[in-house]
Structure 1
């Protein structure tokens, strides 16, 4: 069992760890963690998702930061479970890691506009960036409470 505010706080701390590990000073999106119901028991189970992105940094720096993440995240209690090119046409560089202390995973993707442009995708970004999606396992609200009460 976990209070929703506590889970939100953990998501913020873990996202900050990821940003510090990226080690770049660019522009970042600012929405905070969101709460979603888990299908298994939507009245009592919830998950936390915190998505954000970083851009405004040279592509070469972003690519090096992805390599740095492979080394830095394990020092902060993360286990890297996957690193390499994804299955998209652009073959974006992707890192997936699990927190060993918390029940969270993170998917970090470097989307290089130079690679996306060659496929003339309508979804191709005008600017390269690093997309971070941090998600939790399903947590149960404390006894006597429902997800609606938050």
Structure 2
């Protein structure tokens, strides 16, 4: 019988306007790094990813079927420990912008730490106070990080990060 990794849900901090989730992934840091930084690997679990490059300042989109293309930009990289993306994913607007707007976007950072049986991955998304409906967006993204990161864990459990 195949074992499935179970992780805790996201934590929503309404005072700090932030969402945080820490999970365990049964794969080495190098594999998880590729999964959160390379478009062909991101597309296997998150959204269909397209980037103009892999350095700070590179822009691109994450496309979610039935939702649309979300613009994003790489904000910071500390390979293979952390990467930050800024995205224009304001769920309450009703339509997605064509480019990242620093005034209304949020930033999410993946932090990777090696542990005995794989990788501890923490995502923290901040900046919800700048969105059109902070409470609604916090709740939506809190749930979103559960479903999206659970797909990454399932991919790792199935051996799908090894390639």
Fold shared, TM-score > 0.5 on shorter chain: no
**Scaled by the length of structure 2, what TM-score is found?**
0.32
**Scaled by the length of structure 1, what TM-score is found?**
0.34
Structure exhibiting the larger radius of gyration computed from Cα positions = 1
